[in-house]
Amino acid sequence: MHDMNLQGGIFDIDGVLLDTPHERAWREALEELMSGAWRALLPQTTYTQSAFTSAVYQGHIAGKPREEGAAAALAYFHIPDPDQARAGEYAAAKQACLERLAGVVNVQVYDDAVRFLLEVKAAGARVCSASSSKNADSFLRAVSIGGFVASHGLHYPFVTENTTLLDLFDVNVNGHDVPHGKPDPALFLAAAEALGIAPGRCFVVEDAPAGIAAAKSGGMYAMGVARHDDAEPLWAAGADLVTERLDTIAASEVLLGEEAKGVGGMITYPSFPAEAWGVREMGLHLDLLPQCESVFALSNGHVGLRGNLDEGEPYALPGSYLNSVYEFRPMPYPEGGYGYPESGQTVINITNGKLIRLLVNDEPFDIRYGQVQSHERELDLRAGVLRRKVRWTSPAGVTVKVSSVRMVSFTQRAIAAISYEVEAVDAAARVVVQSELVANETVPSQAGDPRVGAVLAAPLQSEEFEAKGTSGLLVHRTKNSGLRVGVAMNHEVKGPPGTIVESSSYPDSSIVSITARLEPGQKLGIVKYVGYGWSGIRSQPAIRDQIVAALSAARSTGWEGLLAEQRAYLDDFWARADVEVEGDLEIQQAVRFALFHVLQAGARAERRPISAKGLTGPGYDGHAFWDSEIYILPVLLLTAPAAAADALRWRLSILDRAKERARNLGLRGAAFPWRTINGAEGSGYWPAGTAAFHINADIAYAVSQYVAATGDTEFEQQVGLELLVETARLFMSLGFMDAAGHFRIDGVTGPDEYSALADNNVYTNLMAQHNLRSAVEAAKRYPEVSHKLGVDGNEIASWGEAAERMYLPHHGRLGLTPQDESFLEHAVWNFGATTPDQYPLLLHFPYFDLYRKQVVKQADLVLAMILRGDAFSAEQKARNFAYYEALTVRDSSLSASAQSVIAAEVGQLQLAYDYLGETALIDLDDLNHNVKDGLHLASLAGSWWALVAGFGGLRLQQASLRFAPRLPAGIDRLAFRIMFRNRRVGVEVKATEATYQLLAGGPLTVSHHGEEILLIVDHPVTRSIPDIEVGPRPTQPAGRAPRARRVRSRS
């Protein structure tokens, strides 16, 4: 961190702003020489084509003038050059190669760097391009910034349609201008002189150690860009700051010296400062709007509103959702196949009820115009609201203050509400507030990634529209799925005398306009109540009456009443679910953010699915997967058990479709869909969809875990038993008893989607075994209910026999549990030849290649060791974990949390802490660069997993709580609360001891590292934490190790 105001930015070009063919030219030129004119020298050298890696280029050649770079390369490979003639020959060959490549190779623009450069310039700093290459200007001139800004929806007054990247720089210097190249500081000193700014007031952005060294030698602030997992050489060269992506750095904060050190030696400026009970955005960055819309989303499991700005524009992705409101979309296949689904379901953006536009003296309030003097948004995790404060001066010079508070009610399921206020500041102003309902908004196309949801244009057909006084109403019906959606609004208005209210309506919009003249200091305030409803069977009048009634109840409660109800609801939730983390404020913020969003996804879903993105965005088409049962429900069943029960009741509601699907596949029982909204299979890819039959065992596992955690026998009889029976029947028909007496399940896909159609996937077999055993126990407990389901003694006996004879392969020679029967016989993926930009592998390699190799997308066997820990010894867990760590690339956001939990269990506490950081910060830090499509709910739930099941050591086994806590060095204290069988339990973990306390309910016996402890209210029990023998830290595939977690303070 520096303490000076920096005024100038100096940017290297190749590797920072552009990916030019320089590296390739150096490599190809030397290969041509060594295989041609210099062939006789080869035996004297260490050169091979494969030895010329990116690391060699970055460490020895990059950033240096041409002949110095050539000499450095020859020296590195021990190529004799006594009179430096060969260095000149190599430099000339490289230049010729570069000029040849420049005509055939497209120069890649690093979007993150261009956005950062634009922000630096917008902040008022002068900027200079500085490159050792004498070709830099031509490359810069070829890049259209006008096109870049337009395609990214950005606006900068200094950018026109014809602006090029070269035009952005105030001055340019290159290798022509100085006698010595990097690491000599001459180039950067010349740049500072050209800018007219003292070197100590400049920062330099570089990707090469030689460039970092040059900047530091010149007395400048050095920012390193580690695009190739090469942060350490940049640190070693003296970098003050290192980041993988420049768009994680706020330009204004770098200029003012307020950046913060990030994890693993990487430095990023956080979009959100760390605080215990909120997520706050200071300032406004248009390029971060997509992420913020997801992070600031509000929901109650029934209604979901993305965190779009009140005025609606600009936006990245407008989003208003009702759980299970979808439209069909065709699923065409080049070649059809039996059992393929003919259509899929896609969540749709329903009527937008959060829109409030503002005009000030006829000029629209739009943050892209005029001047935004201040802007702040805060997601308050205790109050359950999104607050916003803006001070804005219109292009005509009129200043207003705008504030809003938005909520989606937990207590009144159909209701969202907004308090909106505008105040004139320095001059009288005529203001018009337009509160609207808008259907069929234009939604940007999301293309290029199969994980992004499909977009349907104008999915809603108008049935009724109305506006009267302060109220408005729209009723629509989806074109194909036939779902009726109603949205209504009403308002309370508080303004000066003469305030006028008018309203109008159209098929796709309803508008209430409120006009007032404000003197300086006067305010116009409104409270907007919005009611939502939908149905696939109810009539238009019924839907209309439903939403009008919901509005009436909300208005009767009033704005302050709604706020009080919301706070009380959340106070109760945090009293039974809070997690406290001392020593790492960033993780503290992240886990509460995670719990809040998990609660929002399921609290009032009420027999509807919990999708992978909740109601925060359209990613994955709004589908629910197995994530719900295995990652999300474990959190809810111990913190909000009613929500967990409702999610399982939804599974029961789609059981008939699952049974029909099983019949279509020639199976008995129920085959639940891999991905769905309405219960029909939505996956068109058999190997990674239908073949993942483990989802059925996952549902059964969630049922048994819920019953164990709650003791809810009524649920077990009415809901759980039938789910257990039908999934058990599926596995009995899916598997078979072989000649050796083993029950086998062949041709299935486990959690790892880089292995498909495998025989005896251990995760699947262990979960099926648990499914069968649970079905046996439940059927015996409730014989009358079982009989109604057609279960008899012979069927129960067959389940028990299959469970006991379940085939669980083991590799005796290696002492390992194979992920599936033949997994360990495959070749290991060539991780060394896989570049960082080729992850995730599924977007760069055919599945055919992935399926034949030992490479793991996400925790599979490792996940089995958590859920079925009883099937593995401690030694087996440690050995298996070490082996699969070296194969797991974490191309799924589901993986890091599971790896964290097992790492903690086997004593690899720092590694567990590293993985905790990855899973906890995936959305707040946008680690996967796709938060714009919605939050990763399972990964957020995984942060709770990593803390409570990992460092807290919690396992729910045999209907009892078992703890084996241990903390990493970065956490001083961990405390958490859970609900268990109508009791509230508190656990506090410190470095050497753990304390258990029964906060409410009858006496309870728990286990601490194998010791049984009786808990009674007001009698906390403390026990010491035993040591554990730990092996060497496991290694990960090249470039895929988690960032080392270091404690940092963000402020």
Question: Who contacts 341 (Cβ-Cβ below 8 Å, separation ≥6)?
Answer: 331, 680, 681, 682, 683, 684
| CATH fit for domain 594-966, picks 1.50.10.10, 3.20.20.140, 2.60.40.1180, 3.40.50.11720 | 1.50.10.10
From 332-336, 466-470, 905-909, the region with the lowest mean pLDDT: 332-336
Please tell us whether the domain made up of 21-102 is placed in CATH 1.10.3300.
Answer: no
Which two tokens mark 847? 């599945």
Residue of 606 and 155 predicted with greater confidence:
606
- The whole-angstrom separation of Cα 108 and Cα 98 is 15
For the stretch 20-30, pLDDT in tens is 777 788 888 89
Q: Given this model, what pLDDT does residue 175 score? A: 66
pLDDT band at 1030 (very low <50, low <70, confident <90, very high): very high
Backbone angles phi, psi at 53, to 5 degrees: -95, 170
Residue whose tokens read 């990707």:
207
Give the pairing type, strands 241-243 and 221-225.
Answer: parallel
Average pLDDT value over all residues in the chain:
91
Question: Residue 26, Cα to own-chain centre: how many angstroms?
Answer: 38
Number of other CB atoms surrounding residue 505 within 10 Å: 18
Backbone angles phi, psi at 19, to 5 degrees: -105, 90
Q: Is the pLDDT of residue 362 over 60?
A: yes
Angle of helix 721-734 versus helix 694-710 axis, rounded to 10: 150
Q: Is the dihedral of CA 831, 837, 841, 847 positive or negative?
A: negative
Quote the percentage of the chain above a pLDDT of 70.
Answer: 94
* Cβ atoms 383, 373 nearer than 8 A: no
Q: Is the dihedral of CA 815, 821, 826, 828 positive or negative?
A: negative
From 354-358, 788-792, 842-846, 980-984, the region with the lowest mean pLDDT: 842-846
Q: Is the pLDDT of residue 1048 over 60?
A: no
DSSP code for 536: S
* Cβ atoms 355, 436 nearer than 8 A: yes
Across the range 777-794, mean pLDDT stands at 98
Burial class (CB within 10 angstroms; exposed 0-12, middle 13-18, buried 19+) of 766: buried
Q: Is the pLDDT of residue 455 over 70?
A: no
- Please measure the distance between the N-terminal and C-terminal CA atoms of the chain and give it in whole angstroms: 12
Q: Is the pLDDT of residue 63 over 80?
A: no
Beta-sheet strand order (sheet of 303-305):
298-299, 303-305, 320-322
Q: Given this model, what pLDDT does residue 256 score? A: 62
Q: Is the pLDDT of residue 117 over 80?
A: yes
Burial class (CB within 10 angstroms; exposed 0-12, middle 13-18, buried 19+) of 5: exposed
Q: Given this model, what pLDDT does residue 134 score? A: 62
**Identity of the residue numbered 656:** D
Across the range 805-812, mean pLDDT stands at 95
Q: 3-class DSSP state for residue 432?
A: strand
Q: Given this model, what pLDDT does residue 176 score? A: 64
Backbone angles phi, psi at 140, to 5 degrees: -65, -35
Which two tokens mark 260? 């913060």
From 27-36, 334-343, 358-367, 856-865, the region with the lowest mean pLDDT: 334-343
For the stretch 203-248, pLDDT in tens is 999 988 889 999 999 999 999 998 877 777 888 888 888 888 887 7
Q: Given this model, what pLDDT does residue 103 score? A: 58
Q: Given this model, what pLDDT does residue 720 score? A: 98
- The whole-angstrom separation of Cα 664 and Cα 337 is 12
The CATH T-level fold of domain 8-16+107-265 is Rossmann fold (3.40.50)
In the chain, what are the domain boundaries?
Answer: 8-16+107-265, 21-102, 278-332+341-575, 594-966
- The whole-angstrom separation of Cα 371 and Cα 552 is 39
Least Cα distance to 410 among 563, 295, 634 occurs for: 563
Q: Is the pLDDT of residue 115 over 60?
A: yes
For the stretch 866-896, pLDDT in tens is 999 999 999 999 999 999 999 999 999 999 9
Least Cα distance to 287 among 229, 245, 259 occurs for: 245
For the stretch 81-104, pLDDT in tens is 988 889 889 888 888 887 776 655
Q: Given this model, what pLDDT does residue 353 score? A: 98
Across the range 842-869, mean pLDDT stands at 96
Q: Given this model, what pLDDT does residue 448 score? A: 47
Beta bridge partners of 284: none
**Identity of the residue numbered 562:** L
Q: Is the pLDDT of residue 313 over 60?
A: yes
Q: Is the pLDDT of residue 772 over 70?
A: yes
Q: Given this model, what pLDDT does residue 56 score? A: 83
Q: Given this model, what pLDDT does residue 445 score? A: 66
User: CA angle at residue 660 from 659 to 662, to 5 degrees?
Assistant: 65
Which two tokens mark 478? 């989806």
Residue whose tokens read 């973990």:
989
From 210-224, 378-392, 621-635, the region with the lowest mean pLDDT: 210-224
Could you list the active site residues? 753
Q: Is the pLDDT of residue 261 over 50?
A: no
Number of other CB atoms surrounding residue 200 within 10 Å: 13
Across the range 317-321, mean pLDDT stands at 96
Q: Is the pLDDT of residue 702 over 60?
A: yes
| CATH fit for domain 278-332+341-575, picks 2.40.10.220, 2.70.98.40, 2.40.50.420, 1.10.260.40 | 2.70.98.40
**Identity of the residue numbered 286:** L
Q: Is the pLDDT of residue 301 over 50?
A: yes
Q: Which CA distances in Å does 741 have to 55, 599, 737, 744, 819? A: 54, 46, 6, 9, 21
Which two tokens mark 607? 């027999």
Global confidence as pTM: 0.77
Q: Is the pLDDT of residue 523 over 80?
A: yes
From 269-283, 313-327, 812-826, the region with the lowest mean pLDDT: 269-283
